[in-house]
Amino acid sequence: MRQQIIVSGIGGQGVLFLTRVIAQVAVNRHVPVLTAETHGMAQRGGTVLSTIKIGAFASPLVRSGQADVGLILWEANLPVHLSLLKPDGRLLVNAVDNGPGQRIDASGVARNLGNAVLANLVLLGFALKHQALPFAAEECGLAIEQLAPGKYIEQNLKAFQSGLDYAAQAAS
Amino acid sequence: MKTELMMGNEAIARGLIEAGCQIAAAYPGTPSTEVLQAVIDFRGLATDPLHIEWSVNEKIAFEVALAGSYTGKRVATVMKQVGLNVAADPFMRTAYLGVKGGMVTVVADDPGPHSSQNEQDSRLFCLQARVPVLDPSSPAEAKSMVGKAFELSEKYELNVVLRPTTRICHSRQGVAVSAPVTLARQANFQRDPTRWAATPAFLPQLHRKLNGKLAEVASEPDWQPRRTPGTGRFPRKALIASGIVYGHLMDLLDELDLAGSIDVYQVLMPYPLSPEFVKTVRGDYDQILILEETYPVIELQLAHPGAVGKGGDHVPREGELTPDVIHQVLAAFLGLAPPAEPAAERRGQRPSLCPGCPHRTAFYSIKQCFPQGIFPSDIGCYTLGMNLGAVNTVHCMGACISQGAGFFQAYRQDGDVPTIVVTIGDSTFFHAGIPALINAVVQKVRMIVVILDNATTAMTGGQPVPHMGLLADGSSTQPIAIEALVKACGVGFLEVCDPYHQEQFENLLKQADAFTRQADGGLAVLISRHGCLMDPTVRTQQESYRVTINDKCIGCRKCVDAFECPALKMDSDGIVAAVDQDRCVGCGNCIAVCPVKAIVKEVKS
């Protein structure tokens, strides 16, 4: 498997957690994985980007036009990070309005669950249901259980499931 | 072998524990912070006793670790690249005097820079200081270098630097882990004044010895550049890379179907550079492409007439060597079709102080009271006070107080001195602010120093500060009160106020300004005290309101622009202000900002 993924958002949206969940799925499959993350000043509400490369890679960074999948948690980042995506790459966007890519109001879904920060896992579920990522839902669920602090596991799994279900509604 | 998903910094920390490190000291700074944090998290695995400390600054961290090494134990110190500037004094002398137990100094560089005040190259610093430096290309490699670095350090009795860059520190990878060694060493300091207290009489000899050791280190078999041979498709050409750039290059060659077509060298130890390698490169190749971050350290030592690198116009001399940049450079070097120009870089959304941040309301009050003031500030979250127009200078740790003093002296010569309000965080104050405050008082400087005390080192994720009375492992210690320090520095005006109490805070600012202008006045200190909202207990303990905007809003944008809270924005039509309830923490500090009282709060049900 070779897969290059970008996760784009702003500090405080849980971009790092989503990155770790995806990387953990690869580790659980015994597939090599590399990520690059944004830490430091930008985490204070600024634009942050994670890149994830699954497979036999040596560098964690994604070159322009090479990402297979883009998970965009903050729509305003599209002009900043869209150039990383392949022309035929899969684009999943957390947004209310229409526009490029497959869209879901992940923040709205998460808000209904009690916390807008859960939009990260709603978007992951949405991406899976659209077969944008080559993972099974059970694998992601396991990774979430491994990484989330105990008292948040249930809430996180619910957010992930909401993303899966939301896609199902949209498809029907 | 067991593999765990780890950030580069965690991998280095794990390497330190596995190698039997017994003293680990650091001051936090992006991108290095998580190394010591992870040493704390992994400390239960250590089989030998392990002392871990967040030191007050990098110089102190270095010296604590250094003396530990004199006793024969393995020690480590961790800092970011500009932290090495702070530790430069002991670092430089350590090269001559050497160490006993293995000493590894982890210095994290930040090409770009992403979160630093410059993009200096610690490898060049090491060349200047004559200290061996290792340049890992992945988190796993960084970890594997740690144990070998201790061995190298002990074999030659030299401090050894491990230099990861941001892309190593903050990359995650599956990393093989193993059980820590047990060294069972007892502290045993062998007195030797000709070495540990060496006077100039002994230094030429120590310097000679150092040069001899470096010549041997350069030829160490384990640290020779690694060659991946090519098929000969590009005769008498070679690619040379070190650090993460080597990883970028290998992926790129793979993607361009060029893997194995050209000789590639990975330099593991950029200084001292292997003389055998220099000879090979000079003899076997007419043209070489050198890819390294951020300064031309390998290039300088190779001095190859056919070198393509930062010495010419071929490789950018500043910024990160991203895979896109390398693609351009490689295509030109090998005569390949040039890639499309990468899209112009856009920076995206700028960072802001968090909603509810006490610094925001302190900065807003400062700007309100002294619209024409001069505002020197410093390194930390509060650098973001520039978004509110309340930060005019940011330089290096602790500089704001001395810069404020310099502004005062320059203006005073001409008569009128504008109000100078210095802002410095609590951790930065302890790090380098105290000598500057003493100096300012002694030099009769009249200005206001606002110490932004949020009871943590917020920017780097909440490390303890001396006035909290907490050690790295969470156990308690003697707290050092800021008030007592300020008074001991001879400051004549000292007040403490929660900046959430905006009216009181502004009154105190005005009193402080009056003190700087009265005949028997002087320097005034105001401690702005309110916990960091990243600390969940601060959030849960303070009052939280439901803040909304009513129909009185005239759309003047004052709350959005001048207060700059991320939870305030203009509505989708851009006509009136709106509160983003996902981000609002309900502090209510924005209410005082509105000129028409359109921001209102109600107690949450």
Structural domain spans, chain B? 2-221, 224-334, 358-538, 543-603
Q: Do A44 and B351 touch (CB under 8 A)?
A: yes
pLDDT of the residue at B346: 77
Identify which of A2, A51, A8, A17 has the alpha carbon closest to the alpha carbon of residue A143: A17
Q: Which CATH number fits domain B543-603: 3.40.50.1370, 3.30.70.20, 3.20.20.70, 2.40.110.10?
A: 3.30.70.20
Of the partner residues B172, B252, B348, the one whose CB lies closest to the CB of residue A77: B348
- Tell whether domain A3-164 is in CATH 3.40.920.10: yes
The yes-or-no answer to whether B224-334 and B543-603 have a common fold is: no
Backbone angles phi, psi at B373, to 5 degrees: -70, 165
Q: What percentage of chain A reaches a pLDDT higher than 70? A: 97
Positions of chain B with pLDDT under 70: 605
Q: How far is A154 from chain B (nearest CA, A)?
A: 20
Rg (CA), chain B: 27
Spatial separation of the C-alpha atoms in residues A157 and B167, rounded to whole Å: 30
Token pair belonging to B530: 């309110």
Q: CB distance from A151 to chain B under 8 Å? A: no
Q: Is A43 on the interface with B (CB under 8 A)?
A: yes
What pLDDT is recorded for position B605? 64
Nearest to A58 by CA among B241, B178, B317, B333: B241
Domain chopping of chain A, boundaries? 3-164
- The CA dihedral of B300, B303, B307, B310, to the nearest 10 degrees, is 20
Q: How many CA atoms lie within 13 A of B80 on its CB side?
A: 25
**Which tens digit of pLDDT belongs to each residue from B328-356?**
999 999 999 999 887 777 788 899 999 99
Q: Are B77 and B26 in contact (CB under 8 A)?
A: yes
Q: What is the pLDDT of residue A78?
A: 96
Q: What is the pLDDT of residues B7-40, one digit of tens each?
A: 999 999 999 999 999 999 999 999 999 999 999 9
| Angle, CA of B88, B90 and B95, to the nearest 5° | 95
Q: Which fold has domain B224-334?
A: Rossmann fold (3.40.50)
In tens, the pLDDT along B540-572 reads 999 999 999 999 999 999 999 999 999 999 998
B3–A27: do the CB atoms touch at under 8 Å? yes
Average pLDDT over residues A115-135: 96
Which residue from B108, B95, B46, B27 is spatially nearest to B66, judged by alpha carbons?
B95
Touching check for A107 and chain B: CB below 8 Å? yes
Beta strands in chain A (DSSP E): 3-10, 33-36, 47-54, 67-72, 85-94, 102-104
Which CATH fold topology does B358-538 show? Answer: Rossmann fold (3.40.50)
| Cα separation, A77 vs A99, whole angstroms | 13
Q: What pLDDT is recorded for position A172? A: 40
- Judge if the upstream peptide bond of residue A32 is cis by omega within 30 degrees of 0: no
Q: Which residue has the tokens 């890149």?
A: A51
Closest-CA distance, A134 to chain B, in angstroms, reads: 19
CA distance B195 to B206: 8
Residue of B nearest to A66 (CA): B255
In angstroms, the CA B99 to CA B89 distance is: 15
> Residue B601: beta bridge partners?
B547
Q: Is B192 helix (H, G, I), strand (E, B) or coil?
A: coil
pLDDT of residue A169: 54
Contact status of B250 with chain A (Cβ, < 8 Å): yes
Q: Do the Cβ atoms of B568 and B557 come closer than 8 Å? A: no
Q: Is A12 on the interface with B (CB under 8 A)?
A: yes
Are B354 and A43 an interchain contact pair (Cβ–Cβ within 8 Å)? no
Q: Do B252 and A64 touch (CB under 8 A)?
A: no
B248:A35 CB<8 A:
no
The answer to whether the Cβ–Cβ distance between B171 and A39 falls below 8 Å is no
Contact B482, B453 (CB under 8 A): yes
User: Cβ–Cβ of A34/B173 closer than 8 Å?
Assistant: yes
Contact A111 B582 (CB under 8 A): yes
pLDDT at B404: 98
> What ipTM was predicted for this assembly?
0.94
**Listed residue (B351, B341, B405, B349) closest to B383, CA to CA:** B351
In this prediction, residue A171 carries a pLDDT of: 45
A39 to chain B: which residues are within 8 Å by CB? 30-31, 34, 115, 169-170
Cβ neighbours around A147 below 10 Å, total: 16
CATH architecture of residue range(s) B2-221: 3-Layer(aba) Sandwich (3.40)
**pTM over cut 0.90:** yes
Give the strands of the sheet with B133-134, arranged side by side. B51-54, B23-26, B75-80, B103-108, B159-162, B133-134
Chain A residues in contact with B338 by the CB 8 A cut-off are: none
**Measured between alpha carbons, how far is A43 from A49 in angstroms, rounded to an integer?**
10
